[in-house]
Chains A and B, each alone.
Chain A
Amino acid sequence: MGKWGCDGSRPAAGFLAKPADRSNAGRSRIVLLCLVGMLLSACGSTYRQGEPAPVVSPGGTAAAPASPRRVEQSDSVEVSAYREPQTVALARPAPANRAVRNLVQRAEAQREAGEYAAAQASLERALRIEPENPDLWNRLAHLYLLQQSFARAEQFAAKSNSLLQGDDGLAADNWSVIAQARRAQGDAAGARQASERARVRR
């Protein structure tokens, strides 16, 4: 494993964590740090131990913005406001399709509010519009990772990879998700393999 490797046992040097991450670090274990992407070259993922993975978020029903008016408000959410960034560094071009863009923003806001089921549903809506958009599959993979639904996270990241054409940043990120998921499932060898592929892609 190189110095940019995704090994949960040691936070890698050069990790560009946001302040919010650091504050989280005390009570939450940093499982994996990955450096990917073209611009910031860093992605960090955290999850709280023992946090439940709700299939249905109870609060989601009322709070989910369903009307177009509410959606406009979510446009103003800034990246810096996120408390639990997952894919900080991955440079993602904004979706070209405005409906998909809207749903992705909505999903981000929902994820930030902890409404994971609602965020998933928004991304699934986006996937119905663009079923072969690897970015959307990758976002779902991250959501599952966040909820410790590791088998799903791995499958969705693999699906994202299968739809990629030459986006090494996203490929590396998918491999890092796979590595995290495998490690969490006790597949250390598989995790190392995936980490290696993430490293190569970077």
Chain B
Amino acid sequence: MARKRPSRRKGAHKRRKTQQRAAAQKKRSTQRPAAKGSGSSRAKGASRAARARPGTRAKRPARRYGRVLLALGMLALLSIGGYALYLSAEVRVAFDGKRWAIPARVYARPLELYEGAALTREQLRHELQILGYRHMRQPAGEAQWGDGNGRFVIHTRAFRFWDGEQPALRLRVGLSRGAVSSLSDERGRALDIVRLEPADIGSIYPAHREDRVLVRRADLPDHLVEALLAVEDRRFFSHHGVDPRGIARAFWANLRAGGVVEGGSTLTQQLVKNFILDPKRSLWRKINEALMALIVESRYSKDEILEAYANEIFLGQDGDRAIHGFGLAANFYFNRPLKELRLHEAALLVGLVKGASYYNPRRHPARALERRNLVIRQMQEQGYIAAETARLASALPLGVSAKGRGNEHRYPGFIQLVRRQLQADYRDEDLTSEGLKIFTTLDPWDQHIVAREVGAGLAEIEKARRIPGSTLQAAVVIASPQSGEIRALLGDRDAAYAGFNRALDARRPIGSLAKVAVYLSALAQPDRYTLATLVRDEPVRLELPNGNIWTPQNFDHEVHGRVSLLTALAESLNLAAVNTGLEIGVGEVVDTLEQLGAGEEVDAYPSALLGAFPLSPLDVTQVYQTVAAGGFRAPLHAIREVLDAQHQALQRYPLEVRRSVDPAAAYLLTTSLQEVVRSGTGRSLGRYLPASAGVAGKTGTTDDLRDSWFAGFGGDRVATVWVGRDDNKPTGLTGSSGALRIFGRVMRGLDLQPLTPLPPANIGFQWVEPASGLRSREGCEGAVQLPFVRGSEPAQGSACAGKDERGILHRLFGL
């Protein structure tokens, strides 16, 4: 598996540019038929020896001379033969042992289409765009789509899913009011459910190395091969590895032009040079290259050589990623599979062979266009295409994908997560070279909205608060609450930035987000704590083990006395949380945090009750996922299946759930988190989402306003947002003036489903008087109806008796 080839770095394209020039210069050496010649001279030598033996003894000196000659000839033959053997072995090692390093390709989740699936037009268009489907008035072939009268016509590509092949389909998809209203095949027969192929969202390639998508000979479109032959090697199918006529023609053409305009190097020679030889230019290397080209031709078929060439050729540089082969180049420049390229697109790729950097269509579109049209012209001149076809193709624009960078760089943060989760099970070299296919949970639409809203939201906050532009940073994680599948992940405000990933690696104090653990621990003891229990929002003065005195304060620096647990959480009162946490025991609270899935062990200091410990946004999302799923932790994951290069399933990462905290306590906590958003510190979320969404969430703010957090969930998404600065300086933002706004923008953009938590069987509802925590009844002034673990309702009744006025808050909790 070890790849025996010189690693080519950024200089590769330069070398390639010089290649044609070199080819023209080396013709003299290559014209000498070397390897083939050795066979015939051996025959000659043998016959001379045969003749010499019966020769007369009269000419002694001559015979002696002849013997010396013979010996020298034998020696030369031996060494030439030996050298040919050596080269042949070298070729065999390089070609037979050739295994391209095929980086793992990473796919998004497939979009599931079925009647009732939430899907907007905008969303479906986005999906088709990242799939590289062409928008046509009349879709005719695979990977084309059209729309009209509220109906989409989509011709899909065949795709090998991990559980089987889905053939190409012709779908009719009706959309109305943000959902799929009908789904049928071309004959109008209704379909239950169909998944679109998953979008290719990137690859896992080693740093500073090459990336490629392997193609087979059969995958090479005819016009691509024709263009290649027309421009690079006209007589490819008739020469034996070296083309003297081509060299002569190139020499003549260059002479006439007064410079290098054409190369005489065959495809085989180019391949040999890339495969085997070191890049130093020398006559000796030229000779070797020609010899080896002859050997290659004798050992391998033209189709094999063509296939190897098509996968090896360097066609562009993308940051630290070298684009190798036509397969990846089609993705890179057109966001399409190779076989879907049209004539002018294939011609552009062939044009790049001469100099991928010089003719870079994104940087030098005019040059690229000229080169492409030259390729098309040559195809016409050599009779591959008609003049009219050539004229039409030459008139077309380059058609290079508009974004300039395709899907490869849209999801760097998520790909980092995928890579990290895979590293638990796979060796690095397997990921970067074995051609694995990784099917992930990424929802490109979620990711798109996150990227869009974080950019716009941070800019808006900076402007409104006169914060210097681009000083704020952010991280966002969105997951599915019940399954723990990660739908989107952003590690930098610039979604395309592939460096430090704050969603995974920025561990910051979580502040009041930790209060969920305090109150969950409390509510898990229904005989001691209910939502109506009055907790003490009273001053705290603690001597810590290191001798320091800890005197936490409320955000408003006031003391609120005895307040209901519900209010204490809704208003995020620090003193109430500390007092409650100390009553339960810090150890208990920290245990709860671990049950919820906080990744690191948290030290059981009292300050932990106020979140004075660092977690990453991913860890926080895990904690809130467990709450959102009613106490069932589903480990957050980004991968569903892994296939090997032959489409065999290597591994499936099945859904996992673990009952981690008491479902009744999780339910009570969830209703309190809804109260946070309805009336507490998270109420400004109402600017973004309607009250009917019933979002549950919690703000978090750390000392001196350094970190702004919001974690929350609706019916179908749980998400964490962090906003802060990389230098850890204060931002002036609270959880609600920073992260909450991003959360609101994102969830508004995603059409969050309403949250309607299901009360476990042991939950009942009871009217209570919040101020006193006493049992009340419907109609009493200020009475609210709260959920209780059955049997934990307050026993003592309030003063309200006999009256039947309905309290103004009687509709709390929708009841």
Contact = CB atoms under 8 A, between A and B. Distances in A.
Contact of A129 (B112, B194, B647, B655): B112
B164 A66 contact: yes
Interface stretch (B367-375, B376-384, B478-486): B478-486
A145 interface: no
6 contacts: A56-B651, A61-B162, A99-B115, A99-B117, A127-B482, A155-B632
A162 B193 contact: no
A61 B167 contact: no
A129 B118 CA distance: 10
A165 B759 CA distance: 9
Given A103-B193, A124-B655, A132-B758, A61 B482 contact: no
Nearest to B110: A125
A188 interface: no
A133 to B, nearest CB: 10
Interface string B645-687: 0011111101111110001000000000000000000000000
Contacts of B647: 61
Interface residues of A, number: 40
A160 B114 CA distance: 24
Contacts of B663: 162
B652 A117 contact: yes
Contact of A124 (B481, B654, B659): B654
B192 interface: yes
A69 to B, nearest CB: 8
A99 B631 CA distance: 28
* Of A129, A132, A156, most B-chain CB atoms within 10 Å: A132
Interface of A: 55-56, 60-68, 71, 97-99, 101-103, 117-118, 120-122, 124-125, 127-129, 131-132, 140, 152, 155-156, 158-159, 162-165
A99 B164 contact: no
A162 B630 contact: yes
Contacts of A98: 114-115, 192-193
Contacts of A163: 630, 758
B88 interface: no
B422 to A, nearest CB: 16
A20 to B, nearest CB: 26
B120 interface: no
Contacts of A117: 649, 652, 654
Nearest to B666: A162
Contacts of A66: 161, 163-166
B177 to A, nearest CB: 17
B488 to A, nearest CB: 15
Contacts of A102: 192-193
Contacts, number: 111
A5 to B, nearest CB: 22
Given A62-B164, A99-B115, A162-B632, A155 B658 contact: yes
Nearest to B759: A165
A4 B761 CA distance: 24
A139 to B, nearest CB: 12
B483 A55 contact: no
A64 B164 contact: yes
A128 B659 contact: no
Given A63-B164, A68-B191, A132-B482, 20 more contacts: A55-B654, A61-B164, A61-B649, A62-B164, A66-B164, A66-B165, A67-B169, A68-B192, A98-B114, A98-B192, A102-B192, A124-B483, A124-B655, A131-B480, A131-B481, A132-B758, A140-B655, A152-B656, A155-B656, A165-B758
B797 interface: no
Nearest to B171: A68
A125 B162 CA distance: 13
B760 interface: yes
Interface string B181-193: 0000100000111
Nearest to A101: B192
Contact of A99 (B116, B166, B641, B758): B116
A56 B649 contact: yes
B655 A99 contact: no
Contacts of B758: 132, 162-163, 165
Interface string B144-183: 0000000000000000011111110100000000000000
B114 A129 contact: yes
A65 B164 contact: yes
A132 B658 CA distance: 15
A67 B194 CA distance: 8
B184 to A, nearest CB: 10
Contacts of B632: 155, 158-159, 162
Contacts of B161: 66
A103 B647 CA distance: 22
Nearest to A110: B163
A182 B632 CA distance: 18
A61 B641 CA distance: 12
Contact of B116 (A65, A97, A124): A97
Contacts of B654: 55, 117, 120-121, 124
Contacts of A120: 652, 654-655
Nearest to B641: A121
Contact of B651 (A55, A125, A159, A162): A55
Contacts of B726: none
A197 B163 CA distance: 38
Contacts of B650: 56
A64 B483 CA distance: 23
Contacts of A55: 651-652, 654
Interface in B761-783: 761
Contacts of A68: 169, 185, 191-194
